[in-house]
Amino acid sequence: MTHHQRTDLALLRETAELAIDYLTELAERPVGRPIEPDALRAALGGDLPDRGEDSERVVARLARDADPGLVATAGPRYFGFVIGGSLPVTVATEWLAAAWDQNAGNYPASPAASVLEEVAGSWLRTLFGLPATASVGFVTGGTMANFTGLAAARHGVLHAVGYDVEAHGLFDAPPVNVIVGREAHTTIFVALRMLGLGSERVTQVPADGQGRMRADALRRALEASTGPTIVCAQAGNVNTGAFDPLREIAAATAERGAWLHVDGAFGLWAAASPTLRHHLDGVEMAQSWATDAHKWLNVPYDCGIVFVADPVAHRAAMTVTAAYLVRGAGEAYQAYDYVPESSRRARGLSVYVALRSLGRSGLAQLVDRCCTLARRIARRLEAAPGVTILNDVVLNQVLVRFAAPGDDDRGADERTAAVIAAIQSDGTCWAGGTIWRGRGAMRISVSNWSTTEEDIDRSAEAILRCAELLGVPV
């Protein structure tokens, strides 16, 4: 063994130790204390060095200097956004995948990665109850899963009227109607923007008090539209966790011959649970679906997944051709047919190991446990007179509002914002803010595999302690 190889091995072992130390202390570190960018710039910035530095020192310094800016999103008391942690088996697999350095863009570059993504994709199709013929792509996240599903939709609805959008672009295309729920996730609009469909040209269908698209209003919007049409529904509202009425939406969309895309970034995982599955009734009737493994499956970033019922439309929208990309015999899975990227990391691997290690029952338990814990924190907080839960807690999302006696709506908005700031500085847990139907709220998302009842109780106590100091009766 050369001297170089020996120091490389030491570097890898020491880095693994640093990572293990972090994970060991994760549950007890402050979850995410505010820090100014200048503090981090002072520690991490400076000029690009002329001469390289010793690798072990570089990594050790990085671990030390980045630490105050790390947020314990992997830990059990991070309730911000809808984030999820990383199952240890997936962290270990990502280490291995990085060491393997496979390019999962096409079969010849990594036969193993291609087959693993093919297998993981078929497991997920079964788990979600999607058509057995649906094609699958592993993309960077929900945004790109929506983008890819909507690109297939754009192909599908224009191909149906004899227009080849991939060849000719949208310049001379028949107009495409896009109909979305008023509560569509903001990244749907990003995807539409990137696809030339415009983020503001869409028809927005009103939602009900929980944020569900109103199927009667969708019917009217569909009746008012002519020509190629794409409808975007949502499984899992980022504020309330609510699901659009998919069966009714799918029926109305099918009658009109339109394309239905479902954004199920976290909500699609409810399919894993026999007790929650009913929320997704009719989901299989859509033409494309987007979800995120880095949310509720608890795999590392970045890992979104897109499914398209018609693989021909999916491939037409995404495929690449080049003289050096030779299609082998045996119909191997070529990721570049189904995702926007060419070269890409083997992101399907952690999905594969997560599903294999949890099994159907383990995943159902993970999802159910998060929802039970969401109801638990809602109950604990709601018992305080100054606290109101704004949503029906049907999934893993809880919206909390704080008020002191005599607060009007604005007063309660300010009080709620103050409680959110206080809990973030406190560091026991982390929850962010949102606006729900014009009113400020703390948003709690329980999506981490490692959260326990004790974490929930400790967090509820910390939130109520902060609220009480700010004049909220608890």
- HSE, CB side, 13 Å, CA atoms: give it for residue 360: 10
Instruction: Select the residue interacting with ligand PLP from 263, 407, 413, 455 (CB under 6 A).
Output: 263
Which C-beta is closer to ligand PLP: that of 292 or that of 310? Answer: 292
Considering the complex, state which of residue 75 and residue 236 has its C-beta at the smaller distance from ligand PLP. Answer: 236
| Residue 141 touches ligand PLP, criterion: CB under 6 A | yes
For tokens 């310049």, name the residue. 171
Rounded least distance, CB 187 to ligand PLP, Å:
4
Question: Can residue 244 be called a binding residue for ligand PLP (CB under 6 A)?
Answer: no
Does position 143 interact with ligand PLP (CB under 6 A)? The reply is yes
- Any contact of residue 266 with ligand PLP (CB under 6 A)? yes
Q: For residue 267, how many other CB atoms are within 10 A of its CB? A: 30
Q: Give the residue nearest to ligand PLP (CB).
A: 142
* Choices 200-208, 232-240, 352-360, 393-401; region in contact with ligand PLP by CB under 6 A: 232-240
Spatial contact of 430 and 71, defined as CB atoms under 8 Å apart: yes
Residue 11: C-alpha distances to residues 53, 89, 102 (Å) = 13, 22, 21
Residues 288-307: x where in contact with ligand PLP by CB under 6 A, - otherwise, as a string: ----x-----------x---
Q: How far is the CB of 143 from ligand PLP (least distance, A)?
A: 3
Residue number, 73 or 106, with CB nearest to ligand PLP: 73
| Choices 37-45, 60-68, 263-271, 371-379; region in contact with ligand PLP by CB under 6 A | 263-271
Rounded to a whole number of angstroms, the minimum distance from the CB of residue 437 to ligand PLP is: 18
Centroid of chain to Cα 211: 18
Least distance CB 28 / ligand PLP (angstroms): 28
Of residues 136 and 238, the one with the C-beta less far from ligand PLP: 238
Apex 40 CA angle, 442 and 432, nearest 5: 5
Beta bridge partners of 178: 230
Q: How far is residue 117 CA from its own chain's centroid?
A: 18
Taking the complex as a whole, how short is the minimal distance between the CB of residue 240 and ligand PLP, in angstroms?
11
**190 or 474, CB closer to ligand PLP?**
190
Shortest approach of ligand PLP to residue 448 CB, angstroms?
Answer: 15
- Of 175, 118, 78, the residue nearest 429 (C-alpha): 78
Contact flag: residue 192 with ligand PLP (CB under 6 A)? no
Q: Residue 170: which residues within 8 A CB-CB, separation 6 or more?
A: 176, 196, 197
- The correct pick among 73, 187, 350, 424 for binding ligand PLP (CB under 6 A) is 187
End-to-end CA distance of the chain: 66
How many chain residues touch ligand PLP (CB under 6 A)? 14
Name the token pair of 215: 């199927």
- List the x/- string, 64-93, binding to ligand PLP by CB under 6 A: ------------------x-----------
Shortest distance, position 361 Cβ to ligand PLP, whole Å: 25
Q: Considering only 138-146, 149-157, 355-363, 431-439, which stretch makes contact with ligand PLP by CB under 6 A?
A: 138-146
Distance CA(326)–CA(297), nearest Å, equals 34
Residue 213 C-beta: closest distance to ligand PLP, Å: 13
- Burial class from Cβ neighbours inside 10 Å (0-12, 13-18, 19+) for residue 234 reads buried
CB contact burial 412-450 (16+ within 10 A = b; e otherwise): bbebbebbbebbbebbbbbbbbbebeebbbbbbbbbbbb
Q: Taking the CB of residue 112, how many other CB atoms lie within 10 A of it?
A: 13
* Minimum distance from residue 147 beta carbon to ligand PLP (Å): 9
Please name the amino acid found at residue 350. Answer: S
Strands 203-205 and 177-181: parallel
Name the minimum Å distance from CB 348 to ligand PLP: 16
> Which run of H or E residues covers position 158?
helix 142-159
Q: Choose, by CB under 6 A, the member of 80, 84, 137, 236 that binds ligand PLP.
A: 236
Name the site residues for ligand PLP (rule: CB under 6 A).
Answer: 82, 141-143, 185, 187, 234, 236, 238, 263, 265-266, 292, 304
